[in-house]
Each structure stands twice: as C-alpha cells, then as structure tokens.
Structure 1
Amino acid sequence: MPIKFVKLLLIEDDEDDAFLIKEYLSDIENFKSEIDWVSDPEEGKEKILNGDFDLFLIDFYLGKENGLKLMDFIKKHEILTPSILLTGRNDSKIDIDASVAGAFDYLVKGELTPDSLQRSIRYTIKQGITIKELDKKEKRYRSLFERSFDSIFLANERFEMLELNAAFFAFFGYEENELDQINLQDIFAEQEDYDFCLDQLEKYEVVKDFEVSMLTKTGELKTCLFNCIFIPDQADENCCYQGIIRDLTLWKKAELDMMVAEKLSMTGKLARTIAHEIRNPLTNLNLALDNIKEEMADENELVKVYSDIIQRSSNRIEKLMGDLLSSSKPKELQLELCSLDDIIDEIIALVRDRANLKGIKLEMDLKGDAPRLFVDREKLSIALVNILINGIEAIDHDKGKLSISMFHSKKSILLEITDNGKGICKEDLKRIFDPFYTDKSDGTGLGLTSTLNILSSHNAGIQVQSVVGGGTTFEVEFPLPEM
C-alpha cells in the first residue's frame, strides 16, 4: 500500500535545523506528515516510549548526549519503529556506527533536499513495516532472511557461500544445489570492484551502499547496491560475512532516461540561444559583404577572392546553426506500423558499399519474429544509419566486423550494434551524444546528438558500452505496449 500519512518524532536540539526539516517535509507532495519536535533527549525518550510514531528522526549531536545512545535506548526497549540518523557532516565512522546501531538510514543535513528526505522516509518506513510484520509472526532471524526481497548471503572467511536466501537464487539464476559452487567473486562483473570490497572489509569490516555491476549465472549485467558486514564468532570456521544485494537496474534505467531528457532539453535551449546570438551578426555580415561586392568586386580581384571565402564561411556557419537546431529540436513523427527487420535490411543496403570499401564484414542475427512497432520509418533509419556509420569509421584495421543483433521479450525489443573498432575511453563515452563533440577532423559532432533526439522521440532508450581497443556496442531498446 502507498504511504499516505506519516507521523514523525524529530529529536533535534538546533532550532534552525528543525525549522528546515519541517520546511522540507511541507514540500513533499506524495504523502502528508505530522511532526512532533523535541530538543531535549530525555523528553525524546519519554515520547519514544509512550508515543505512537511511524518514524524517528534523530540528530547525532544532542549536547552531552548523542543519537547513538538514543539508538541504543530504542534497541534496549525493543521498539521496532524505524529511525533515521541526522548529522551535520559526512563522516564514514558515523555512517558505520549508525548502521551498526540500527539506524535505517543516515542523512547529512548539508546535502538534504525534499526529494532525498522523501526517498529516505519512504524507504525507511516501508522497511520498518516489513520488520514489524515479520516480528509479529516470528522474531527469529530466519524469517527475515527468507522473506527479504533483496538478495542476502552468508559467506565464510574465504567468501564461499554458506547460505543464500530465495531472492538470491531467483535474482542471480542459480539453483539451490549449486550453493557450494558459488563464490562471492563469481558475481562481481569487475575484478577491481571485488578487490575494493575486500579491502574495505579488511580495513573497516563493512561495505555500505556500494553501487556495482554484478553478473547473473547467464552473464547478464545487473546494477546493484552492495552491503556487507563482518560477523565475528568464537569458532574461526563459523566467522562469516553477511551481505545484502539490492537490484538497482530499473531505477538506474529510469535515472538515465531522466538525464537524457534533461540533456536534450538543455541542448535545445542552448541551441536556440546560440542560433539567435550568432544569426543576428551573421545577417549583418552578409549584408555588409553584399555591399562590398557591389562596390569593389569588379575593381579588385583580391577582394573577390576574399569575399568568396567569407561567403563560404558564412554559409558554413548558417548550415551548422541549422543542423544544431535540427538535431536538438523534438522530432515530429510520422508514425506507421513497421517491422524493425525491414528497416534494418534497408539501412544495411545504405551502408554496405561503405563497409565493403574498408573490407568490413557485416553480420546480422535477425530472427524475423519481432513484433512490429509504430515508428517514423525515415527518421528512425537516419538514427540507426548514424550508429552504423560511426561503427564503420571506428574500424581502422583489416579484420573489421560490424554485427547487428535483435532480441525481444514481452516488454521490449533490444537492438545491439557492435563493432570491433578502436573503442571509446570512459571520459569520452560520457560526451558522445553532446553537440559538436567529435574526434573526426571533418565531422560536425551532431550525428549522435540527432540520433539521441530521434530515439528519445520514439521513447527508446540507448546505452553504449565500449572497451578501448576492443570495440563498442550500442544497445537500443524499444518498449512494447503493455498487453
């Protein structure tokens, strides 16, 4: 059930901070809140024991007392109301202490916004509700372990899995009889991320909210939030690590879509501003040039030569402004029901000669059974041709290969275009859709900007993966209408 009303107890001895938190809460539209503020920790303890609250917001520094002591008080009295710890500075030790003490979240006041506070409250209350429900049925750890929606594991000192919950098996695609074959390292996509976690566990005995790419049994990449803590015991063999892995894949995709939309919006505003500021003086320049031609062109051959150079440059600038506006302007689509297989066949015919001239082999894996989509055939062809041409131009060796694959599920159609060219470094990968960004001497840097705009107009997502010296893959995902 969605959260509609939240009753909070704020224990905060700074009146200004309390005022700001109240203001942030009043800006939240998704749910209503009622806040009871106290500045004295002792009064706070009394309200904790006798009040009926959905959530405690506790300041870390409370004069002679701190929030951790209040957390211990809550734990000692077995109160299951969730808590969020607030602090004035970002300190990893406080973060770790808060987590160990039982705080559901840890927020830095200077970084607080209504959105971040809302997300934290919603997450904390939902998690608190889950724990309360489990506690009513069974207080043993086993119940929480098995019922969690997140993947939970217990591993020994060699990071061999001792126990996994059902969510772990379902998420990573392993069978329960494969438990003794799984090592923590197996699910990390990058060795450096695994090494970082080992280092943190060795130094601090905890890894908290580490965003990392993980691999399922079938090799599918998942973006996850990784948490792990060392749990000591008397017997060495029973010393183990407990970890929780949360799937962020859909959340990250939504975040990426939002960033793309914001980038296109800003690009459009920037393009219109630049075009306005440049076209006005450019018009004056062209008028002045016409007057010069009329007055002096016949008398001086050198004037004619230079005036032609100015005219060509002026035309070039005008064309660039037009291309920039066109690449960033939301596309008006002429939709028709089309097969992506047919569109790909057409664009392959358009780029085949260019690929053959460079000796590049084209490979296609099209099943021919993908559902048809309502798309603008012409504009989508332009977008995909831009990607293919970029792949062809990225190949500078005699064993060039460009492959196009298509897969579909009940929710989407995924198109992958992969080349074995020079690849793109991480820094440049973030900029390839930016206007005027290009590594080609004769390029305008607007091709991929236009591609992003066209695909966004089709509600299609695009991601790029690349390895320097190993090639680049463009993944374009077209959502299918829900049945």
Structure 2
Amino acid sequence: MNTFLSSIGIENVRINQMKKNNIEIPIADLFKSFFIESLDAIIFWNENMSVINANDAACRLFECSLDILKQYPIDAFVYEKDEKYHAIIQDLNRRGSVRDELLFQMYNGQMKYLEFSTKLYVVDGYHMTIFRNVTERYQMEKKLRESEQKFRKIFEGSLDGMLLWDENQRIIDVNPAGEKYLKVSKYEVVGKTMRDLLINCHFPDDELNEVMKNLMIEGHTTGTITLTTRSGKTLHYEYSTKQNVVSNLSLTTFRDVTEKLEMEANLHKSDTLSVIGQLAAGVAHEIRNPMTALKGFIQLLEDSSEGKHSMYFDVISTELNRIDAIINEFLILAKPQAIKFVEHSITQIMSETVNLLGAQAVLYNVQFLLHYDDDLPSLICEPNQLKKVFINMIKNGIEVMPSGGFITITMNQTTDNRIHISIKDEGYGIPEEKLKKLGQPFYTTKERGTGLGLMVSYRIIEEHEGTIKVESEVGKGTVFHVYLPVGK
C-alpha cells in the first residue's frame, strides 16, 4: 500500500502524457489521479487508525503537512469523543461504512465542522475517509435555528393572538394567546382555512372577501372585527395582517378588545347618566321652591273657601303630590350608585388602564413613563370606578398634547399609609384662577368639553375616601395627585 501510494506522483505525470496522446487510461491510473486532484480531503489509514497517506486537500484542511498528519491517528483531531463519536465507531464497525459530521480541532487550533464519509478495507486492507469542510453551512444552520427559536419564543409568549397561514389561507400554527382568545385548541384550527375559522365564528362572507381583497392589494390590513363564539358570546377583536412575512406565510395578530369597547360604552353611559342626574338635581331644586309656595297657598284657599270647590282642591293637591313623586324619582339619578368594594392591586388597575389607552397615545405621538414602587399594597376599592378616574385623567393629558410628549405616571406608598398616584402631562397647563373650579358641574377648560369627566372622577375618589389635588403651570403642564387610603 505504501509503495502504491508513493508512486502516485510519478503516475500522475504519466497520466497527463497519456491524455495528450489520446491513449486510454487504466482504472487504477484514474483512481490515482482522482486522489491527487480531488478538491475533497482524502486520508488513508490502517487498523491502528494511523494515517498512511493523505492528499494536498487534506493537508490544507487540517492546516498541517503530510509528515505531521502521519504522526497522529485519524481520530486525534476529533474535538470531543462523546456518545455521538462512539455511536459512529460502532456503526462503522457493524456496516463497514459511515457518513456523518463531527467537530474537529485542526493542528493550528482552529475549529471546523467536517462532514466525512468512511469506507473500510478500500485498498490492500487499508481504510479511506473523505472529508469536506461544512463549517460555514453549519454556522448558517445554527443562526437559522437560533432565529427560529427566537421567533418561536416571541410567538409562544406574545400576549397578542397570532395565526400563521399559507398562500392557500390554510392555518399552519396558532399561539397560546390565540387559543385563549378564540376559545379553541390548536388542534381544532391547524389545517383549517382562515375562511373556515371566520365563517364558523359567524363573520359575514362579504366582509371577509373585502378584507382579503385589501390584503392582496396593499400587502397588509388592519381593523376591528366582531365574532361569535360557540357559546354564543359576542367578542370584538383588533387585528393586523401582514402578507408573506416569511416563506410565503402570512401573519395575523389580534387582541380581544371586548372589555375595552364595553368600558368605553359604560363610560359614555355613565357620563350621560351623570348629565341627567345633574339636570335632575337642578330641575328638582328649581321646581320644588315654587311648589312649596303653591302648596301653602292652596291650603290657605281651601281653608278660606268653607268647603266650596273641595273637589278642585283635592285634584290640585293630588297632582302636586304626583309632581313631587316624579321629582323624587328624578333625584335617584343624581344619587351615587351602590358600589361593591373588593381587594385589588392598584398596579394592575393602572397597567390595564395604560394598555387600554395605548392606541390613542400612539395616535397623538404620546409616550408613557411609568414609575411604580415594588410591592405596593392592595386597596379596598371598586376597580372599574378607579379605571374611570385614571382614564379621564390620562385622556385629558393626551388631548392637551397635540404635538406629542410624555405622560409620567408615578405610584408609591406614603408615610401616612396612603397610595399616592401622580399623572403628569406636558400640555399647555391651566391658569391658577381656573384650577379652583375643576370638578365643578359643567365646568371645563376644553373647548368642547362638558366638565363631567372630572366631576365624576372627584365623586369616585370621594367615595373611596381619597383626595385629588391638581398642580399646573401654564406652558409646562399639569399634575394630578390622587391619594387613596390603604385598608379602608
């Protein structure tokens, strides 16, 4: 074998001469030429794993000369002889050949991933291994796997629902948030089409066609849709779809905004009822004064008439009493509603409020700066009522910053066992003479405001035995300070 391989150089010269003279080349000569000219590294080794010979490509790959290679067994360059390595050896001994990949350390210390193909007893009882450097491919695959893992973590951990679907609108995957929002399991939706999913949720077919049409034209689409679950509950979702995000797959993200829309509707209803209540209180006050006089004079006239026209006096008294009953019913609207207080986290209430107003803040180019103390104690409160207060204050801050800016929200516990919430904007501020009137019925600093929002806020905080203080400087902004007692 040694003589055979050492003669390769001389044979190569002879082969080149035969090529020039168009003489047929023997198979053995072709093999020798392949060994020398191959771009892949080829190493011959014996039963002791000692390297017998190697071509130039092998020397270049292992970063050393042939003489150095011969000093080591062929597996000396394997970086780690782990379970995979021993499994490869067992497979080679059993089958007589093997093809796999391992990490090798070159003679100069460089690390390379090599793909190799080994065949036992190729020539004269010697074995042959062909190596190829796949380090670049391995690194690319590693980056691809890492990228896929990152996407998977984002996909699985997102608070928004996510759907991946192909060019045939067939759903490929759905994340846990999506399962929660849609009230279905992954196995129920994967394989179905987006059309099947939406039609089953009673989404109108013509609206679906319009959405898909806009997606094909624009490449992306956003909006709000209303779906009905299997239990019959109506849910509202904000969605955003991007076509061909990766590998002909489209991504739809969505979130449940049912609570948000219901809260907005309740706020609108609350404001309306507040207006009615204030009007009722004002009307009742204006009517009761003259009614008191009418009742007194009717009584005097009845006493002086000596029983005449008693029927008329009875009718008048009855109708006056009826008016009084109507006024009492009117006043019920002006009275505070019964509130059920529970123990709740103020941090959670504020976080949910900020999330609720996030979209409006983006439209006004407003950003939130949040500073919450750790381990704030829970409050005995009505969470939705406090949300109304914070929504009113934050919305006021957003609306007074048409050019954008920051709203800073700070929450901490005071030394007198109260929670201090401050909401600071960078708006145009409120003059000192107007600060004293804030919270009064129908007083507002906004051109189209009613003043009812702050009026309701003041009432809610009073019902929670808290206080509101306002600081403002024209041209620099306004700070609302809300103080709520702990444990009451």
TM-score surpassing 0.5? no
TM-score (norm 1): 0.33
Larger Rg computed on CA atoms: 2
TM-score (norm 2): 0.33
